[in-house]
């Protein structure tokens, strides 16, 4: 998959009024960005294992083999970090989607998870995770990471394989509950799920070494970004270019009041919305 050369800028000032202005200016001069379109209880999970799409079953593909193939494709697409590939090779993505979609769980595509939301495309999960690891000021195993937009919980599970402590916030109660059910049998001790408005962050758990925003907004509130420690990294899709277009942005808190902005891929995420539902 083609990758764009990042646009880098660094400047002092309050993060988001400033960073979004910088990002918009950078985006205007960045015409050639490529389009990157972007367990339950034991008995239930066993049932899903057996019913993972008859076509694949006929081809002799177990979920493990399908996952290996997905990881091979991710590596061929440019995901390189061994810890990210290992995490994506270990989390059973088919357990995070409806049974009827399980045979497509290892395709490189977003899939519906109810409530008009989607599970993110595997490539995007790998790419965001890898971008967080790179140049993180602490060892990944010591990092505290905040995810906004738990959805079905898949990316949170991947993050928890890689980082020391992961907090994931979801605004829709039904999805928060669903993620909790999906994750129960995986027993991930370093993952905390919260029902709430992620735009408020989690002041009691801050500061974070990294934030991953799994939904696209126009900007991020200063109150959220203030919860990032100096040296920390934020990955967020923002609608900063033309209407309907989103760009994956990397913001690094270089110093207390200094942020750098890197514009990365064109992406497509569901909207970031305030409040809870």
Give the active site residues: 120
Give the C-alpha distances (Å, rounded to integers) separating 203 from 159, 199, 208, 226, 233: 20, 11, 10, 9, 17
Q: Which is nearer to ligand SAH, 143 or 199 (CB)?
A: 199
CA-based nearest residue to 83, from 45, 142, 130: 130
Binding ligand SAH (rule: CB under 6 A), the pick from 18, 19, 118, 182 is 118
Q: Rounded to 5 degrees, what are φ and ψ at 198?
A: -60, -20
DSSP single-letter state for residue 49: H
- Give 50-75 as a DSSP string: HTS-HHHHHTT--HHHHHHHHHHHHH
Return the bridge partners of 259, or none. 11, 253
Residue 216 CA to residue 213 CA, distance in Å, equals 7
Q: Which stretch binds ligand SAH (CB under 6 A): 20-28, 43-51, 59-67, 112-120?
A: 112-120
Cis, peptide link before residue 207, omega less than 30° from 0: yes
Told to check if 248 binds ligand SAH by CB under 6 A, we report no
* Residue 205-244 contact track with ligand SAH, rule CB under 6 A, x = bound: ---------xx-----------------------------
Length of the chain: 277
Told to check if 171 binds ligand SAH by CB under 6 A, we report yes
Q: How far is the CB of 171 from ligand SAH (least distance, A)?
A: 4
Told to check if 169 binds ligand SAH by CB under 6 A, we report yes
Told to check if 102 binds ligand SAH by CB under 6 A, we report no
Q: Which stretch binds ligand SAH (CB under 6 A): 21-29, 39-47, 131-139, 149-157?
A: 149-157
Q: Which is nearer to ligand SAH, 170 or 209 (CB)?
A: 170
Residue 232 CA to residue 225 CA, distance in Å, equals 10
Contact between 27 and 260 under an 8 Å Cβ cutoff? The reply is no
Q: Rounded to 5 degrees, what are φ and ψ at 212?
A: -120, 125
Q: How far is the CB of 91 from ligand SAH (least distance, A)?
A: 10
Q: Which is nearer to ligand SAH, 63 or 198 (CB)?
A: 198
Q: Which is nearer to ligand SAH, 117 or 247 (CB)?
A: 117
Told to check if 117 binds ligand SAH by CB under 6 A, we report yes
Contact between 95 and 39 under an 8 Å Cβ cutoff? The reply is yes
Q: Which stretch binds ligand SAH (CB under 6 A): 15-23, 31-39, 151-159, 252-260?
A: 151-159
Q: How far is the CB of 93 from ligand SAH (least distance, A)?
A: 9
Count H helices and E strands in the chain, helices first. 9, 10
Which residues, 18 to 47, sit near ligand SAH by CB under 6 A?
A: none
Q: Which residues bind ligand SAH (CB under 6 A)?
A: 117-120, 148-152, 154-155, 169-172, 175, 197-199, 214-215, 270, 272-274
């Amino acid at each position: 998959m083609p990758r764009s050369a990042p646009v880098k800028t660094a400047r002092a000032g309050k993060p988001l009024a400033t960073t979004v202005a910088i990002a918009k200016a950078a985006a205007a001069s960045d015409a050639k960005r490529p389009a990157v379109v972007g367990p339950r209880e034991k008995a239930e999970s066993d049932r899903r294992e057996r019913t993972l799409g008859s076509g694949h079953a006929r081809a002799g593909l177990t979920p493990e083999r399908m996952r290996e193939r997905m990881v091979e494709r991710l590596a061929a697409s440019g995901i390189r970090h061994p810890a990210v590939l290992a995490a994506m090779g270990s989390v059973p993505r088919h357990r995070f989607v409806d049974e009827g979609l399980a045979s497509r769980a290892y395709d490189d595509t977003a899939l519906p998870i109810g409530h008009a939301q989607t599970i993110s495309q595997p490539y995007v999960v790998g790419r965001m995770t890898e971008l967080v690891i790179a140049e993180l000021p602490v060892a990944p195993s010591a990092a505290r990471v905040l995810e906004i937009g738990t959805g079905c919980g898949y990316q949170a599970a991947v993050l928890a394989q890689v980082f020391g402590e992961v907090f994931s916030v979801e605004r829709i109660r039904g999805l928060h509950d669903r993620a909790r059910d999906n994750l129960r049998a995986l027993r991930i001790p370093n993952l905390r799920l919260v029902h709430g408005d992620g735009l408020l962050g989690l002041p009691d758990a801050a500061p974070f070494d990294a934030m991953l925003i799994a939904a696209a907004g126009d900007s991020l509130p200063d109150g959220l970004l203030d919860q990032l420690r100096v040296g920390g990294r934020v990955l967020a899709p923002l609608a900063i270019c033309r209407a309907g277009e989103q760009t994956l942005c990397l913001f690094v808190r270089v110093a207390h009041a200094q942020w750098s902005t890197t514009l990365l891929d064109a992406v497509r995420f569901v909207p970031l919305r305030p409040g809870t539902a």
